[in-house]
Amino acid sequence: MHSANATNKQLSDDGGKHRSVRLLSKNSIAFMIMGVVCFGITVVASAQNSKTGRPFRSLVGQAAPAFTVQSLDDGRAVALADYRGKAVMVNFWATWCGNCKVEMPWLAELREKYAAQGFEVLGIVTDDAPTEKIKALAQKYGVKYPILMCNHKTAQTYGGLPDLPESFLIDRYGKIVAEMDGADSKRQIEENIRKVLRR
């Protein structure tokens, strides 16, 4: 009896300790899993590219692959189809990516400049950084465009994302007009935005 009581007391104490541990929200866990998956796809794609030496197939001239991802802010589903009729730049990035951080203030500025003409940027983050860190970066660089969370299917349909940042310019009819990878100049980005708006 004493042994059983001691065991029950120990379990009770342990339960109290476990209850005192701060648990992650379901959304945070889901975002972390999606980030790990997308990061893994990016690493594998980069390794395959370096091994084979073959360039990844360009999507320019093709219909933009449909996708549905989650909003960083509230976890709601966001689809590319929601922006039908607008010129859209889908920008894949990561919090660890230096070139991504170079581009972010340019994208924020250009989005505000051309928004009235029907232009939007969708920033899809591919790593598993904490939500607070992602939001802090967006605030730091003046980002007001939607920040979305990548998933496995989206990363695959956009070529595995071997380089970051990776951006796709999509016209009002849903066709990919231009691709950009690595660090591009602000001038080049703006030229491509004007190009997609002319179509």
Q: What domains are there in the chain, each with its CATH number?
A: 25-198 (3.40.30.10)
- Tell me what the mean pLDDT of segment 77-96 comes to: 96
Q: Is the pLDDT of residue 18 over 90?
A: no
Q: Specify which residues 89 forms β-bridges with.
A: 121, 169
In whole angstroms, give the CA distance from residue 86 to residue 136.
28
- What is the structure's pLDDT at 106? 96
Through-space distance between the first and last CA atoms of the chain, rounded to whole angstroms: 82
DSSP 186: H
In whole angstroms, give the CA distance from residue 155 to residue 153.
6
- What is the structure's pLDDT at 184? 76
Q: What is the chain's mean pLDDT, rounded? A: 79
Least confident of 43-52, 90-99, 152-161: 43-52
For the chain, give the percent of residues with pLDDT over 70.
71
pTM above 0.85, yes or no: no
| Residue 181 banded pLDDT, cuts 50, 70, 90 | confident
| Residue 163 banded pLDDT, cuts 50, 70, 90 | confident
The closest of 151, 144, 199 to 172, measured between CA atoms, is 199
Side chain identity, residue 134: I
